[in-house]
């Protein structure tokens, strides 16, 4: 579900305290939406909106967990390792480094293979998502 990054998008996503809390919580251990809602003291629909936004940019991964009673529920873990923001000559440059496991990479490879996509980036390139620049002088 990767969307292309641009500085406005990064600032919008990180502008949400709930999104930042989700990333922080899910970096410690996989966490459910209910746990996030309780910790952040917000509704689950709010949590799911933020989860969806974070997943659109590959910063949050979803996994299915089975509890002792056999019930299935989703848990989320952070894929974001580092964000770098640089201001240079009137422009913002954003670099995001994602921690992606081989299961995620294989699933993407398979999806692209089925879709007939050529020109896959190397492993080094796929682990680093670069944002585009925003010109402050009118762009």
Give the model's pLDDT for residue 4.
Answer: 67
What is residue 119's predicted lDDT score, i.e. its pLDDT? 52
- What are the structural domain ranges in the chain? 7-135
Average pLDDT per consecutive 10 residues, the chain (139 residues; last block may be shorter):
67 90 94 95 96 91 88 90 86 77 56 63 44 44
Helix (H) or strand (E) holding 19: helix 17-28
Inter-CA distances, 54 with 1, 7, 21, Å: 10, 15, 12
The CATH code for residues 7-135 is 1.10.10.10
Cβ contacts of residue 139 below 8 Å, gap of 6+? none
């Amino acid at each position: 579900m990767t969307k292309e990054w641009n500085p406005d998008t990064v600032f919008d996503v990180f502008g949400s305290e709930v999104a930042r809390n989700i990333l922080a919580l899910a970096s410690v251990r996989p966490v459910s939406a209910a746990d996030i809602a309780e910790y952040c003291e917000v509704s689950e629909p709010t949590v799911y909106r933020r989860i969806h936004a974070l997943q659109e940019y590959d910063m949050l991964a979803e996994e299915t967990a089975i509890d002792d009673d056999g019930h299935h529920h989703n848990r989320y873990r952070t894929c974001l390792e580092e964000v770098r923001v640089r201001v240079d000559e009137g422009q913002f440059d954003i670099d995001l480094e994602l921690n992606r496991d081989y299961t995620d990479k294989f699933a993407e490879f398979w999806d692209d293979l089925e879709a007939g996509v050529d020109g896959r980036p190397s492993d080094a390139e796929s682990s680093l998502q670069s944002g585009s620049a925003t010109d402050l002088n009118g762009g």
